[in-house]
Structure 1
Amino acid sequence: MKALIRADANKNIGQGHVMRCLSVCDALKEKGHDCVFVCAKDTPMDFIMNRGYDVYYLTTSYNRMDDELALLEQIIAEEKANLLIIDSYYVSQAYLQSVKELIKTVYLDDVYSFAYDVDCLINYNVYADAEKYKEMYMTEGVKEPAMIIGPTYAPLRKEFTEKNIREISEIKNIMISVGGADPLHLAYGFAEILSGDEFFKDKNINMILGKMEPDIDKIKDICEATKNINYFVNVKDMKEKIEEADIVISAAGSTQYEICACGKPCICFSMADNQVPGGEKFGELGAFIYAGDVRNNDGFFYDVLNAVKRVAKDPALAKEMSRKASEITDGHGAERIVGRLEKLFGR
């Protein structure tokens, strides 16, 4: 199988689309399949190529995908690809129908925008609902695709299949992740408020930052002044960083499933519309505490830190959150996706 991956990353949309596709590609590669990325002009190329994949750069914008169809058709023909995996919120039905005439298509979704006219639909999120899709396809009169649904299919890097879940007796190490781009400047906000809160003075705090972090210099200054707050940029050992933590503060994106695979209690929050359903569902399941949407909560930072303090004072709660998180996904999702794709489209 030769797969083209159509996904983008930039300061506006972060890196999540590309990162989850990289996990699927690694699993495809292990089974002997080839993968090539096709990205809009403002996607950083190095972190894809460093994982061993070639990249085609389009001359069009990430949010005007219909403009790229002619060039994409040329790439499909040139690469002799037989599968196109698309991960973007900016597809139109016309776009999907055009590429479906050329190649088998797979779409990764988490927002239920419309009845995507594709051959296979993937939604690995904890709130994914096959019945909701079935109703959508029936209502819109679009042929229902094969569906790969639920968090057992969460595509994580292979290292997350190795379980090393430890019981948490005390909250001493805290990890913070706000995603690859941080357009709302949350990392700096956390660093600033943590540096002035007496409760956290004896805690070791690791801030995980993306390469597009806008406030790196200000965060560096706070870290140098406080000594117990550390920052790491574009980490290669995410699993180790999560495992070192006793609790994680994280945006409700792809990192949530890595946290689950490591069995860590988490205070999660949303900072974009597509993150709200996941944050709410994780909170409903009791795996995480959902601190709400940062965009409409003036007391956001205090709510998050108070939630951390609540877990720190209740070891039984930390243990229960850890157990529930570890039951959501086991790290083998990418392998399962590849197994389903092989059954659908051949080896």
Structure 2
Amino acid sequence: MYYFRADGSAKTGAGHLMRCLTVALELQKLTEHPEQVCFLCADEASAELLRSNHMPVKVLGTDPEDLEGELPVLERLAGDTKQIFLVDSYRVTDAYLQGLRRLGRVFLLDDMQQHAYPVDGVINYNLFASEEKYRELYGDTVPQYLGAPYVPVRQQFCDASGSYAVAEQVTDVLITTGGGDIDNISGEILRQLAEYDLNGCAVRYHLVVGRFNPNREKLEQYASVHENVRLHCDVRDMAALMAQCQLAVTAGGTTIYELAVLGVPFVCFSYAENQEALTEWLGTQQIAGYAGAWHRAAGETLERIGAWCLKAQQDPGLRRQCYETERGLIDGLGAARIAQILITAGKLGIK
């Protein structure tokens, strides 16, 4: 069996689930036994999203904050057969991963590059991933799969590549802050952008409301009295929604790579420590707009978001530059490459 271990919630969002789902779907296409691809989740909240995407899932009925506590459940589930695990969680501990390795081969999705974990392979697909840093952590003892070749982008974005074109005027702006957004950051950004007079243009704002967003009712109420605000919940064709917008405002995460595949100009920000490296790197490389760290200086970040959107609206040349630099970042084959790593591990057997 190939098991994907990930959770989602209002606090952590849906990013862990979605990037694993992208890999799992590719794995189902590439393996000779697609029925052996399955997710493991702590609770029903996470499982619901996966089932809506027709992905098998086993609910462990455990505490998502205490991964070590679920090891007895996993031992009973695995039985005597060795498994392949892809783990995506910031709650992992050495003890948990060591326990998991007794059940099979373990691969870890890691984007913090701060600790050498006891795993059979580590994957950090972020553009800022440092080969030197990982060599310091792991040496030659653990295979490391780093950088742009491993960015897992959903097939719909690869299919839609080339569908976006830089327009002379900005009429539609996308706002996406992840699957949770417990602080209603998207609502704050919307109000900030609404204060700007974008050269008199009638701008429509498209808010993506994630499955775990606890502020949905509040946002629906706001949209009901503002004709230029559209809410999008449980979006199936995100690529099409992105492609119809001339600008985007996004938190750090996989959404950044999805926008980049299409070439949609965007300004990004972080709202947690694990998002800082990517958003800062994009700003330093002048690939996209960078507004700062919301969790450290919300007011200043909000002002920078508004200022960048106004500047980008007024300057088609800036938007064209963003389009060209974004399009060269990744090739969209990362999910298939990660899936192949898991397949190869399965064929090699368990040490």
Structure 1-normalised TM-score?
A: 0.93
Judge conservation of contact 2:211–2:234 (CA < 8 Å) in 1.
Answer: yes
More displaced stretch, 81-90 vs 143-152: 143-152
Judge conservation of contact 1:191–1:222 (CA < 8 Å) in 2.
Answer: no
Runs of 4+ with deviation above 4 angstroms:
none
Distance (Å, rounded) in 2 between the aligned partners of 1:54 and 1:307: 42
Judge conservation of contact 1:177–1:251 (CA < 8 Å) in 2.
Answer: yes
Give the unaligned 5+ runs of structure 1: none
Judge conservation of contact 1:266–1:287 (CA < 8 Å) in 2.
Answer: no
| Residues 108-147 of structure 1 mapped to structure 2, 5 A cutoff | 108-138=109-139, 144-147=141-144
Q: CA deviation at 1:344?
A: 4.1
- Tell me the alpha carbon deviations over residues 163-204 of structure 1, each in whole angstroms, 9 at most, x when there is no partner: 123233322211000000002211221233333433376111
Distance (Å, rounded) in 1 between the aligned partners of 2:40 and 2:342: 20
More displaced stretch, 164-173 vs 88-97: 164-173
Residues 42 and 63 of structure 1: is their aligned pair in 2 closer, same or farther, counting only changes over 3 Å? farther
Residues 276 and 42 of structure 1: is their aligned pair in 2 closer, same or farther, counting only changes over 3 Å? farther
1:261 maps to 261
1:197 maps to 196
Q: Secondary structure at the match of 1:231?
A: strand
1:275 maps to 275
- Tell me the alpha carbon deviations over residues 203-235 of structure 1, each in whole angstroms, 9 at most, x when there is no partner: 111111102222222222222222111111121
Q: CA deviation at 1:42?
A: 5.7
Judge conservation of contact 1:182–1:213 (CA < 8 Å) in 2.
Answer: yes
2:152 is the counterpart of 1:155: yes
Residues 344 and 72 of structure 1: is their aligned pair in 2 closer, same or farther, counting only changes over 3 Å? closer
Distance (Å, rounded) in 1 between the aligned partners of 2:146 and 2:295: 29
Q: CA deviation at 1:103?
A: 0.1
- Tell me the alpha carbon deviations over residues 41-73 of structure 1, each in whole angstroms, 9 at most, x when there is no partner: 263322101222222212321111111111111
- Tell me the alpha carbon deviations over residues 216-255 of structure 1, each in whole angstroms, 9 at most, x when there is no partner: 2222222222211111112111111111111110001111
1:27 maps to 26
Q: CA deviation at 1:124?
A: 0.5
2:68 is the counterpart of 1:66: yes
More displaced stretch, 190-199 vs 276-285: 190-199
More displaced stretch, 219-228 vs 121-130: 219-228
Q: Secondary structure at the match of 1:324?
A: helix
Residues 52 and 42 of structure 1: is their aligned pair in 2 closer, same or farther, counting only changes over 3 Å? closer
Distance (Å, rounded) in 2 between the aligned partners of 1:241 and 1:181: 19
2:87 maps to 86
Distance (Å, rounded) in 1 between the aligned partners of 2:183 and 2:238: 22
- Tell me the alpha carbon deviations over residues 235-285 of structure 1, each in whole angstroms, 9 at most, x when there is no partner: 111111111111110001111110111111110000000000010111122
Judge conservation of contact 2:23–2:335 (CA < 8 Å) in 1.
Answer: yes
Structure 2-normalised TM-score?
A: 0.92
Distance (Å, rounded) in 1 between the aligned partners of 2:211 and 2:343: 34
1:219 maps to 219
Distance (Å, rounded) in 2 between the aligned partners of 1:18 and 1:320: 32
Identity in percent: 27
| Residues 288-299 of structure 1 mapped to structure 2, 5 A cutoff | 288-297=288-297, 298-299=299-300
Distance (Å, rounded) in 1 between the aligned partners of 2:192 and 2:184: 13
1:285 maps to 285
Give the unaligned 5+ runs of structure 2: none
Residues 223 and 337 of structure 1: is their aligned pair in 2 closer, same or farther, counting only changes over 3 Å? same
Distance (Å, rounded) in 2 between the aligned partners of 1:181 and 1:47: 13
Q: Secondary structure at the match of 1:45?
A: helix
Q: Secondary structure at the match of 1:291?
A: strand
Match of 2:54 among 30, 52, 55: 52
Instruction: State the superposition RMSD in angstroms.
Output: 1.8
Residues 126 and 117 of structure 1: is their aligned pair in 2 closer, same or farther, counting only changes over 3 Å? same
More displaced stretch, 203-212 vs 164-173: 164-173
Distance (Å, rounded) in 1 between the aligned partners of 2:135 and 2:230: 47
Residues 257 and 61 of structure 1: is their aligned pair in 2 closer, same or farther, counting only changes over 3 Å? same
Distance (Å, rounded) in 1 between the aligned partners of 2:138 and 2:191: 47
Judge conservation of contact 1:23–1:157 (CA < 8 Å) in 2.
Answer: yes
Judge conservation of contact 1:267–1:308 (CA < 8 Å) in 2.
Answer: yes
2:9 is the counterpart of 1:10: yes
Matched AA of 1:146: P
Distance (Å, rounded) in 1 between the aligned partners of 2:121 and 2:39: 19
Judge conservation of contact 1:176–1:205 (CA < 8 Å) in 2.
Answer: yes
Judge conservation of contact 1:178–1:251 (CA < 8 Å) in 2.
Answer: yes
Q: CA deviation at 1:115?
A: 0.3
